[in-house]
Structure formats: C-alpha cells, structure tokens
Amino acid sequence: MPSAADVVTQYFAGVTACDSAAVSGLFAPDAVLLPIGGRTISGREAIRAFYDEVFAGPRVTPGPGPFVVDGDRLAVEIDTTSGEVVRRVADFFHVVDGHITRLAIYRT
C-alpha cells in the first residue's frame, strides 16, 4: 500500500502534467474536495470534472514544500506559479488505503 507521501507525490505529478484522469484516479470513489472558494465537491467523477475545468484555464504549476505527515494525514504549503504570479496555498490531505479521501485547499 502506498504511503500518504507517495500518493501526494503522485497527485502533484498529475497536477503538473494537467492530467485530470491521473489526479482524480488518486481519490476514493466517495472522496471530498474542498477547494478555495468554499464549495464542496463530492465523489471521484465530480472531482475529475473540477480538475478538467481547472486544467482548461491558465496553466498553474505547483511547487510543493516539505510534507508534514502524521499517519494518514499530510499537510503541505505550495507556491503556485501562473505566468509571473506566485501565490501560496496550503493543502491538507487525508489518505486511506492508498486513496485521497479528503483534500482541503486554503489560500495562505
């Protein structure tokens, strides 16, 4: 079974490649995504649709910092770059049995 860090490393590889199938495939079927903006997205298919939409927009490249791991939970600050604009966000993952069950994203 992959560790939380392994799964999150795969997540950032998929995001960097703008591959919504690879990213959504890391989520559990009943996963919950809480992106910036306050909405809740439930289920792998809805999460894939969200990433399809994100990846259709301006390219954003994540630059994750060190992972802070506590068992099946992982937190990481990310510098996101779009053109010359850099923003910092923080992601909080819950990974169970090799799948992301919850991801909350916050602007720092």
pLDDT of residue 37: 87
How many CA atoms does the CB half-sphere of 36 hold within 13 Å?
Answer: 9
pLDDT of 95 > 90? The answer is yes
Domain extent listing, the chain:
4-107
pLDDT of 100 > 90? The answer is yes
Convert the pLDDT of each residue in 16-60 to its tens digit: 999 999 999 999 999 999 999 889 999 999 999 999 999 999 998
The reply to whether the predicted model has a pTM over 0.85 is yes
Topology given in CATH for the domain delimited by 4-107: Nuclear Transport Factor 2; Chain: A, (3.10.450)
Cα separations in angstroms, 99 against 6, 75, 78, 106: 10, 15, 20, 20
